[in-house]
Chain A
C-alpha cells in the first residue's frame, strides 16, 4: 500500500526538495516497491495534466460578458464634441499616433490632447502678405476665411471640403477634411498644415505633439464637433523620413480596401449566417481594427481585433470574419510598412439569407448575400417515420449523448403525441465524431429500426444518457441476439454514415436540428419549432 506520506515524498523527489540521503533512500525503496513506482508515474501524469491547463470555455464566457458590459456599443449619435461650449479657447491637437484627431471609441476618453487650454488664443491680425490675398467665402450662417493658400471645394450649402491648407471658420459651417466632418458653431481654425498656423494664434504650439498630425482644430469660440470617419487609418509605421509623413488618406483608401475585401464578402456573410442559426435576431455593426503589414507590393493581415463600438453582440462572428480576412491580399499602404485601419462591417439578416455591407466608398457595390434557400429537400430514405404521407414532415437530426439532444427527444415525444395524426416525424442520425458512445448508439438505433421497434428503443434510450444499449434493447423488447448482430454489421454502419453525409450536405452543423417541411430550426427551440409546424399545417390546409 502506498500512503499519502509516501506520495508526498515522491512529490518532493520530483521537485528536488529532498536531501541527498533522503533521495538515495527513496530511490532504493522505489526499486523494491512496484506500487511506489506506479505512484511516481501517476504523479508525473498529474503534472502533465496540470501543465496544460487552460481556462474552460465558461470561464472565458464569464470574462467576455463582463468585458462587453464595460465597453457597451456606442450610442447611435455620431457626434462627438471636440471642445465644450464653455471653453472659450482651447487648442486641440490630434495625438501623434492617431494621425487624425478622432479617438478610440468609446467616449469619454478623447485622444485629442489640449495643447493650450487656459490662455485665450485669439487670431492675431493676419500677416501682411497673408492679408493681401485672403479669400473669404460667405455663407448664409457663417463665413470661411482661407489662410495659407488653402484650397476648398464647396460640397453643398454651408458644407466645404478642405483640400489642403488652413481655414478659419466662423458661424455655423461644416468642413470635411481627411474623412472627418467638422461642424463648427463658433470660431474655429482648422489646420491641415499646423506648422503654418502658428502666426494665426497667440498661444505657442507644441511642435512635437503636432508632428505627424493630419488635422488640428483650434477652437477659439463656441465649439466644433467632429464625426468619426467610417474607415480610417488609425496608426501607421512610416517607411519614410518623418519630415514628410503621408496623410492617412494617401496611404490606403477605403475603395482599395473594399476592392480587396469584396471578393470575400460571401465567406464573411457565411460567418454571420452561421451565428444567425443560433440567434435569429442577431444583427448589427462591428468595426474591425486590422493591422496590415506590407511587403512592398501587397499587404496582409497580421493582427485583428474588434473596436469598442460594436453593436453586433457576437464574438464568434468577429473572429470568424478575421479568419476570412486572413486570406485577403490587401494593397500595400503607400509610405508605410504597417498600418492599422478601422474597418466597419454591417450585418443583417435578409429573408432566409444574410446581408453584409462593406463601408460605403461611393462605389456602387452589390451587397454580399449569403442566401440559403428557404426550404431544402430532405431525402427521407428508409429512416423511421411516424406517419408517412402526412402533409407536414419534421425531420430531426440528433444523437444520443448531448444534453440538448436528450431534451430534444423529450420534446419530440411530446410533439409526436400532440400532432400524432397530422405530422410525420422522422429521425435521422448525426452522431458527434468526438463521442464514441454517440456513434454506437446511432448504430443501435438503426438496428432497432431494422427490427421494427425504432421508437420503442429510441424512447427507452433517450430516457437517460447512460443506459446500457442492451438494457434498453431488452426493455424495448428487441431480440437481443439479432440486435447485437445487426448493430455490429457494416450495413448498419453505412446507414449511419449516409445520415451523417446527408446532415453535412444540408450544412446542418449542430444537434439537435429540425427540418419542418424543409425549413430548418437549429438547436432546441421548442417555441420556434411549434410555430413552424403550426404554420406549415395551416399552409397545408389552405392548399
Chain B
C-alpha cells in the first residue's frame, strides 16, 4: 500500500476530496478491520462508514508534521468513537468469512486451509473475550498501537492495558488450544512490551 505523501496529506487536511480519498484508502482498511472486531454486531458496516465520515470531519485537526503518524491518529479517533458508542449489551459475535487476513500465497494448499480454519477459530475466540480485553488485544497486537496510546484513550494506566493484553493472550491460547500447534504457527514472538 502506498503511503500518503505529505502534500496529499496537507491537501486532505485542507479538504480536497481526492486527497481525502487517498487517506481513506490508506487508513480505511485498518479502521474497517478494527470496527469489524470491536464494533457492535449488525452495526459494523454502518459504524465503519460513520467512523470514516467522522475521521474526515476531524481530519483538519490532524497535524501532518506532528508526532503522531496518520494511522496512529486514525486508530485513536476510531477507538474513541467506538468507546463513545453506548449501545445495548452485545450479543456474542460470530466469526465471519473473510477471516483474519488473506491467505498467505506462499503457503501450500493444506497450510492455507489450516490457516483459514485457524483464522475462523481465532475470530470466534476473539469475540468471546470481554470488550475491554478485546479492545486492548486488537489495538496493541493486531494493529500494533502503543500501550500508552491505548491507555490514554481508555483512560486507564498503562499497566492496566498490559494486564488486559496478557489476560487476553492467555484466554486466546486456551481457546485455540492445539489449533496453534500446526506447522507454520511457530515463529518469532513480538511480545507486547
Contacts and interface: CB of A to CB of B under 8 A. Distances in A.
B177 to A, nearest CB: 8
Contact of B141 (A50, A56, A305, A435): A50
Interface in A486-535: none
B166 A42 contact: no
B19 to A, nearest CB: 8
A8 B109 contact: no
B71 to A, nearest CB: 11
Interface in B91-112: 98-104, 109-110, 112
A70 B174 contact: no
Given A56-B33, A104-B18, A49 B185 contact: yes
A156 interface: no
B21 A71 contact: yes
Contact of A51 (B16, B190, B193): B190
Interface string A61-76: 0111011101100000
A160 B63 CA distance: 46
B33 A47 contact: no
A282 interface: no
Given A53-B100, A62-B28, A44 B162 contact: no
A53 B101 contact: yes
A113 to B, nearest CB: 13
B166 A63 contact: no
Contacts of B101: 52-56
A45 interface: yes
Nearest to B2: A305
Contact of A4 (B100, B143, B171, B187): B171
Given A68-B21, A104-B16, A54 B102 contact: yes
Contacts of B176: 42, 46
A11 interface: yes
A159 interface: no
A71 B17 contact: yes
Contacts of B27: 63
Interface residues of B, number: 65
A2 B52 CA distance: 42
Interface in A463-494: none
A51 B188 contact: yes
B11 interface: yes
A59 B143 CA distance: 14
A535 B56 CA distance: 50
A70 B17 contact: yes
A256 interface: no
Contact of B185 (A6, A45, A58, A106): A45
A16, A45, A71: most-surrounded residue (chain B CB, <10 A): A45
A313 to B, nearest CB: 13
A60 interface: yes
Q: Classify the secondary structure of B's interface with A.
A: helix
A109 B142 contact: no
Interface in A430-461: 433-437
Contacts of A56: 33, 36, 98-102
Contacts of A51: 187-188, 190
A44 B25 contact: no
Nearest to B191: A15
A17 B162 contact: yes
Nearest to B32: A59
B189 A63 contact: no
Given A56-B99, A104-B18, A109-B11, A17 B166 contact: yes
Contact of A44 (B112, B187, B192): B187
Contacts of B186: 41, 44-45, 48
B81 to A, nearest CB: 15
B65 to A, nearest CB: 19
A19 to B, nearest CB: 14
A376 interface: no
B67 interface: no
Contacts of B188: 44, 47-48, 51
Contacts of A15: 162, 166, 191-193
B103 A16 contact: no
Nearest to B183: A45
B107 to A, nearest CB: 9
Nearest to B116: A434
A537 interface: no
Contact of A17 (B33, B99, B112, B193): B193
Contact of A67 (B24, B31, B48, B167): B24
Interface in A381-439: 433-437
Contacts of A53: 100-101, 142-143
A70 to B, nearest CB: 4
B75 interface: no
Contacts of B102: 54, 56-57
Contacts of B177: 42
Interface in B7-58: 11, 14-22, 24-25, 27-33, 36, 45, 48-49, 52, 56
Interface in B151-174: 162, 165-167, 169-174
Interface string A204-246: 0000000000000000000000000000000000000000000
A2 B187 CA distance: 22
Interface string A91-118: 0000000000000111001000000000
Interface in B117-164: 118, 122, 141-143, 162
Nearest to A16: B193
B68 interface: no
Contacts of A39: 173
Contact of B142 (A50, A66, A68, A436): A50
A128 B33 CA distance: 70
Contacts of A10: 170
A7 B100 contact: no
Given A58-B98, A63-B32, A308 B21 contact: yes
B77 interface: no
A7 B24 contact: no
Given A56-B100, A66-B48, 17 more contacts: A5-B170, A42-B177, A47-B141, A51-B190, A52-B101, A55-B30, A55-B33, A57-B102, A62-B32, A62-B45, A63-B29, A63-B31, A66-B49, A67-B22, A67-B24, A70-B21, A71-B21
26 contacts: A8-B167, A11-B166, A11-B192, A14-B189, A16-B191, A16-B193, A42-B181, A45-B181, A46-B172, A46-B173, A49-B180, A49-B185, A50-B142, A52-B104, A53-B143, A56-B36, A59-B29, A59-B33, A60-B32, A62-B48, A63-B29, A66-B49, A71-B17, A71-B20, A104-B19, A434-B112
User: Nearest 3 CB-CB pairs, A to B?
Assistant: A63-B28, A48-B187, A45-B185
